[in-house]
Copies of this chain bind each other. A is one copy, B any other.
Amino acid sequence: MFIRNAWYVAAFSSECNSDTPLARTLLSERVVLFRTPEGRAVALEDRCCHRLAPLSLGDLEADGLRCRYHGMKFDATGKCIDMPGQREIPAAMCVRSFPLVERDSLLWIWMGSPELADPTKIVDCHWNHAPGWPTASGYIHYQAHYQLIADNLLDFSHLTFVHRTTLANNAFPNARPEIVPMDGGIRLYRQILDCEPSPLHAMAGRFKGKVDFWNRQAWWLPSVFENWAGSVDAGGDGPPHERPGALHFRHFSLLTPETEKTTHYFWIQPCAFPHGDDSVIDAVGQGIQTAFAEDRWIIEAQQQVMNESPQVRPKPAASDAALNRVRILIDKALQQEAQGRATIPVVPVQEGV
């Protein structure tokens, strides 16, 4: 069961073109993505309504996508506009189309009630490949429910144990974040002054000594995690993230459920480097990939255990505070949807913009 009335990332813009349809299962539904010759991105149900062949095996033509089986052609709204060998096309001959918005080099899909789809409710990711923001990005296919990944992102006490060579900082387990409720999610603030930088920050910022470190995070329901993180030489005046000479990461982890046990994980990592040498971005991207592979290793193992013992409940630790807040919010939203009410969409307001 997933929150349906919400915007999810369906793909990176670069994955979708007008030559080859892209098949992707989202929220347990088969979707086919493609572009019109004019470049508009489109998302249709990936199941021909005639005899249920996947449309993603079909051919893109100027005015639509033609099924490879019996040649039914569907336009960008999902309407059948050609039935070979049949002059009259019944109105019922159509497939579902999904609201799809291209923004910040991402394709955002709405799998709920189309009339509720409001593009102003999409989280702002404008740093993605923006001028002055060299950006690494990547995709991970996960054999785990998206909420296990959310748990991971909402509890940084794991960094010390899972990410020894990348993101670890021994102060993490004791550096409880401040948790601030907000419309549509929560914010997390964490600051560690006068600490050794993590290996990734040290490399990316070329810090020689200790740093003042910050996380300014937001979790936007259901599954957008923003992590404005950074470091600056220890000891300056004012909040670290407002000081000059700082390393800034404007990271987003964008989770889209594929099925109840698998997840599409898109991430973008726009950076601002204090030294101005943007070539460091490749090493940052590799560091993130390494770290996220470490997460995947432990989370998929956790999912396996949970598959085998579905009745066993976790026992709470103090460090679960943030993840439990988000779990409660998601449960509440699911209940509201089950009662026919859609409550997720709020206009996400960014910090430091």
Binding site for B on A (CB under 8 A): 28, 30, 46-47, 49-54, 57, 66-72, 83-86, 90, 92-93, 151, 155, 157-158, 160-162, 173-174, 176, 297-298, 301-302, 304-306, 308-309, 312, 314-315, 317-320
Bound complex: CA A143 to CA B53 (Å): 14
Bound complex: CA A201 to CA B296 (Å): 52
Q: Determine the chain B residues whose CB is within 8 A of the CB of A53 once the complex forms.
A: 298, 301-302, 305
- The answer to whether A85 and B174 have CB atoms under 8 Å apart is yes
Q: Determine the chain B residues whose CB is within 8 A of the CB of A84 once the complex forms.
A: 157, 160-161, 173-174, 319
Bound complex: CA A320 to CA B72 (Å): 13
Shortest A305–chain B CB gap in Å is: 5
Q: Determine the chain B residues whose CB is within 8 A of the CB of A90 once the complex forms.
A: 315
Partner of A69, one of B85, B92, B298, B304: B298
Shortest A309–chain B CB gap in Å is: 7
Among A68, A93, A162, A315, max chain B CB count under 10 A is at A315
Partner of A70, one of B68, B306, B312, B319: B319
Q: Determine the chain B residues whose CB is within 8 A of the CB of A315 once the complex forms.
A: 49-50, 90, 92-93
Q: Determine the chain B residues whose CB is within 8 A of the CB of A85 once the complex forms.
A: 157, 173-174, 176, 318-319
Among A51, A312, A314, max chain B CB count under 10 A is at A51
The 3 closest A-B pairs by CB, nearest first: A84-B173, A85-B173, A71-B161
- The answer to whether B47 and A309 have CB atoms under 8 Å apart is yes
- The answer to whether B305 and A52 have CB atoms under 8 Å apart is yes
Shortest A86–chain B CB gap in Å is: 5
Bound complex: CA A251 to CA B57 (Å): 28
Bound complex: CA A320 to CA B85 (Å): 11
- The answer to whether A54 and B301 have CB atoms under 8 Å apart is yes
